[in-house]
Structures are given as structure tokens and as C-alpha cells.
């Protein structure tokens, strides 16, 4: 005898993986969407009028997220301005195909789409990175770059928040991985529904309590257009083990996923445990708990043909690597790159006066004669103020220019 839907008198066509309830298609859609709405309102994820970027990869999670966000935005008058934001890692045969799905979603859902690529941001595609580093650790590079790329894309779009399709299974996996690694800092942060409120752009996970199996069912019954192929560079063995473990637990007890998340949420860390302090990277200005962020160190390693530079696990190792970068630059420093570094402190603009340009040249002469070194970062736009030269040059030029402005305004007056 056919099973009746637990919420109406229609025939049930599925059993919800999360609750075991037998439901018809329409009641499943409603239950799924209402749970996401409940998560959004319970955590007060959005404020009316905000612009929200949906991290869209073309996969099932982000496609369902974009669809549900659009529906809920209209149904409950969230009054959000939704945009799709995709990252092109440069993986031929994978990301190029999945981005085609996002481009179709752009039209199907009527949401504007912005694509930013690793190539434009870092000068490297994942294809090129894998060619240099092989298939070990490639996901570490990809993950670190993607995280920053999403922030950078979102800043280009001037959005207020980013939402990602991380689901309950992903969060539970991350809890388990952080327990196994003993990473207390991440363990404490990883169950937060919103992260990045301490300076970077806030990121929210409206699917934090949504089971992956239900997302697959929702996409299937709604006939959503998504891309389901695995990345061709997808060894990520560690997460793979955590995933398999969670799936095994789910088979025995479906509530295990939510239970792990609740355990992570209830965790309290002893006061004596030192937590990483979030600051900003002195090179790129993006959020980092180290002087130089992992993305910058990795990029440096790739550019110098030392790709293992960014793979160190501990803060101590990373600090050592940051120092190594400095030392390498120190030994390779010559008058030309010193000049370019100094120029970056006070880059003449198209409307700079000849006085400002002359000041730069005269400081350059003084510095090259004094034999002092610059901050060693040799980074475009560097304004680190770390070395004596950096401070002197910036302060010196600015005060000269200010003085000249005062002089000229006095004359004008």
C-alpha cells in the first residue's frame, strides 16, 4: 500500500534523510525551504537592503543555494540584492565546464554574475600550479587562493556579505578534521554560521544544518541545472577519510551529523589556550593571523620555484618561511628593485606635479648613497612602514609635498 505524505494526504515519494519523514514532493520542497528560512532568521543572517554575493561554483550545493535564496528573498521580502560570484581556478575540463552551468543559472535565476580567476589575481592557474607541484598538496594551494579570491571578488562587487553552500555534512567533517588535527583555533570557529565579522567580509552558511543528501534530492526533484563531475585534481585524502567516516555514521544514525555540529557549537576552550589573533597581511592587506598570509607565502614560493614554502603546518614554520622570503629578497636586492620598492611608497600619479616626481628622485639618490635597505618586500603598493627607509621615504616625501602645498597655497592666498 502506498505511503501517505506525513503533512498532506498525497502519496509520499521520498523519505527525508534527516528526519525519516515520508513526504510528497511539494511538502519536501516546503519543509526544505522553511528550514533554511528558519536558520536565516534564527541567526539574523541578513539586514534588509544588503547586497549579498552567492559563492557559485556550478555544483549542487551552490546551485540549490542560489535557487533557494532567490525564492526566500521574494517569499519573505528579505529585500536583498543578490549576485552570483564565481571563482575560476583554471582547471581545464572541470571548472570551465562547471562555469557554463553558472552562466546558465545567471539567466535562469535572473541574477547578475561576476567571475574572477586565479590567473588574473595571482598570475597562476591551477593547471599551471599542478604542473609545478604535482598532485600532492594542490588542494591546499587551491583552498587558500579560493578563500582570498572570494573576498577579493566580493570587494570588487562592493557586497555586504558572502553566502556559501557549505552544508551540515561539510561542517561536521570540518569539526572531525579539526579534532583529529588538534586545531583548537579552527575547531572553535568552524561551527560558526557567520565568520569574518572581525574585519574581513562576513561569510554565512545558510545550509549549516542542511543535509547533503537532501540538497541532492532537492536539486533532483526541482530539476535544477548543475554540474556534478568531481574535480580532476581531487585527491584531498584527509577530508576524504573524514567524509567517509561521517557517511558511515550517518548510515547507522542519521542524527550523527547534527549531533557533531552541536558538539562543536557547545565546545568551550580553556582561557589558558592561546588562540590565533586575526590581523592583516602586511603584503596584501587581507585577513591573516600571521605577518604574511598563507596566500602570499604560497604565491611567493610558486614565483620563486620553491612551491613547498607555503605548505608548513605550524605558525612557527610559517614564520620561518616568511623570514626566508625576506632573506632571499635581501640577498637579491639591487639598486633597481630598491628603486622600484621606494617608488611604490609614493607612486607618482598621472596628475603628480613635477615637484613630487623630483622629490622621489632626490630621495632615491639619498637612499642609494646611504647604503640602507628597504623593507625587502618589493611589493607593488607597499606601505608597510617597517624599515627605517620605508618610514623615512614615506614621511619625507609626504612632508615635502605637504610643505610645497602649504607654500603654494600661501602664495595663492
Contacting ligand SF4 (CB under 6 A), which of 23, 53, 116, 142? 142
Regarding 382 and contact with Zn ion (CB under 5 A), the answer is no
Answer yes or no: are the C-beta atoms of 132 and 304 closer than 8 Å. no
Interaction pattern, residues 235-274, with ligand SF4; x per rule: CB under 6 A: -x--------------------------------------
Residue 140 Cβ, how far from ligand SF4 at the closest point, in Å? 8
Residue 282 Cβ, how far from Zn ion at the closest point, in Å? 8
Nearer to ligand SF4 by Cβ, of 135 and 269: the residue is 135
What is the Cα 130 distance to its own chain's centre?
20
Regarding 341 and contact with ligand SF4 (CB under 6 A), the answer is no
Residue with cell 570540518: 174
| Partner whose binding site includes residue 284, from ligand SF4, Zn ion, none (CB under 5 to 8 Å by kind) | Zn ion
Cα 139 to Cα 126, 136, 248, 389, distances in angstroms? 9, 8, 24, 39
Residue 15: exposure state from Cβ atoms within 10 A (0-12, 13-18, ≥19): middle
Instruction: Please tell me the distance from the alpha carbon of residue 332 to that of residue 10, in angstroms, as a whole number.
Output: 75
Contacting ligand SF4 (CB under 6 A), which of 139, 200, 292, 360? 139
Interaction pattern, residues 40-79, with ligand SF4; x per rule: CB under 6 A: ----------------------------------------
Using the Cα atoms of residue 100, residue 105, residue 107 and residue 111 in order, give the sign of their dihedral. Answer: negative
Instruction: Please tell me the distance from the alpha carbon of residue 4 to that of residue 286, in angstroms, as a whole number.
Output: 53
Residue 218 Cβ, how far from ligand SF4 at the closest point, in Å? 22
Nearer to ligand SF4 by Cβ, of 236 and 373: the residue is 236
User: Between residue 212 and residue 231, which ones bind ligand SF4 under the rule CB under 6 A?
Assistant: 231
∠ at Cα 396 (394, 399), nearest 5°?
Answer: 105
User: Between residue 237 and residue 296, which ones bind Zn ion under the rule CB under 5 A?
Assistant: 281, 283-284, 293, 296
309 closest CA partner among 291, 323, 329: 323
Q: Which stretch binds ligand SF4 (CB under 6 A): 139-147, 189-197, 251-259, 328-336?
A: 139-147
* Grid cell of 369 as nine digits: 648613497
Q: At 204, phi and psi to the nearest 5? A: -120, 155
Nearer to ligand SF4 by Cβ, of 12 and 126: the residue is 126
Nearer to Zn ion by Cβ, of 60 and 152: the residue is 152
Instruction: Please tell me the distance from the alpha carbon of residue 10 to that of residue 19, in angstroms, as a whole number.
Output: 19
Q: What is the largest CA-CA distance in the chain?
A: 97
Residue 321 Cβ, how far from ligand SF4 at the closest point, in Å? 21
Helices (H) and strands (E) in the chain, counts: 16, 10
Regarding 126 and contact with ligand SF4 (CB under 6 A), the answer is yes
Regarding 324 and contact with ligand SF4 (CB under 6 A), the answer is no
* Grid cell of 101 as nine digits: 552551468
Q: Which residues bind Zn ion (CB under 5 A)?
A: 281, 283-284, 293, 296
Would you tell me which residues interact with ligand SF4 (CB under 6 A)? 89, 126, 138-139, 142-143, 231, 233-234, 236
Amino acid at each position: 500500500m502506498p505511503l501517505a505524505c506525513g503533512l498532506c494526504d498525497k502519496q509520499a515519494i521520498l523519505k527525508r534523510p534527516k528526519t525519516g519523514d515520508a513526504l510528497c514532493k511539494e511538502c519536501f520542497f516546503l519543509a526544505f525551504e522553511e528550514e533554511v528560512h528558519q536558520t536565516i532568521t534564527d541567526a539574523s543572517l541578513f539586514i534588509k537592503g544588503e547586497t549579498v554575493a552567492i559563492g557559485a561554483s556550478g555544483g549542487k550545493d551552490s546551485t540549490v543555494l542560489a535557487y533557494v535564496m532567490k525564492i526566500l528573498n521574494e517569499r519573505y521580502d528579505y529585500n536583498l540584492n543578490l549576485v552570483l560570484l564565481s571563482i575560476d581556478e583554471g582547471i581545464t575540463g572541470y571548472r570551465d565546464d562547471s562555469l557554463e552551468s553558472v552562466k546558465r543559472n545567471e539567466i535562469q535565476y535572473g541574477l547578475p554574475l561576476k567571475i574572477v580567476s586565479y590567473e588574473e589575481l595571482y598570475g597562476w592557474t591551477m593547471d599551471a600550479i599542478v604542473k609545478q607541484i604535482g598532485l600532492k598538496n594542490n588542494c591546499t594551494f587551491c583552498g587558500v587562493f579560493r578563500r582570498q579570491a572570494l573576498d577579493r571578488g566580493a570587494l570588487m562587487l562592493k557586497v555586504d556579505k558572502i553566502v556559501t553552500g557549505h552544508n551540515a555534512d561539510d561542517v561536521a567533517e570540518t569539526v572531525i578534521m579539526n579534532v583529529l588535527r588538534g586545531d583548537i583555533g579552527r575547531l572553535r570557529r568552524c561551527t560558526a554560521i557567520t565568520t569574518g565579522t572581525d574585519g574581513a567580509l562576513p561569510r554565512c552558511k545558510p545550509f549549516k544544518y542542511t543535509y547533503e543528501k537532501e540538497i541532492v534530492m532537492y536539486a533532483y526533484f526541482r530539476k535544477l541545472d548543475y554540474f556534478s563531475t568531481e574535480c580532476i585534481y581531487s585527491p584531498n585524502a584527509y577530508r576524504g577519510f573524514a567524509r567517509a567516516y561521517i557517511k558511515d555514521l550517518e548510515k547507522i544514525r542519521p542524527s550523527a551529523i547534527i549531533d557533531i555540529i552541536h558538539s562543536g557549537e557547545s565546545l568551550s576552550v580553556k582561557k589558558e589556550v592561546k588562540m590565533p589573533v586575526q590581523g592583516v597581511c602586511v603584503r596584501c592587506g587581507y585577513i591573516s593571523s600571521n605577518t604574511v598570509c598563507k596566500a602570499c607565502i604560497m604565491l611567493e614560493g610558486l614565483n620563486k620555484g620553491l612551491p613547498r614554502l607555503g605548505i608548513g603546518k605550524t605558525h612557527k614554520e610559517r614564520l620561518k618561511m616568511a623570514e626566508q622570503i625576506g632573506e632571499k629578497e635581501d640577498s637579491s636586492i639591487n639598486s633597481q628593485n630598491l628603486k622600484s620598492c621606494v617608488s611604490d611608497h609614493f607612486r607618482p600619479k598621472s596628475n603628480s606635479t613635477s615637484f613630487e616626481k623630483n622629490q622621489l628622485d632626490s630621495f632615491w639618490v639619498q637612499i642609494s648613497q646611504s647604503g640602507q635597505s628597504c623593507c625587502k618586500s618589493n611589493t607593488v603598493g607597499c606601505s608597510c612602514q617597517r624599515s627605517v627607509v620605508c618610514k623615512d621615504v614615506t614621511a619625507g616625501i609626504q612632508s615635502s609635498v605637504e610643505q610645497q602645498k602649504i607654500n603654494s597655497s600661501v602664495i595663492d592666498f
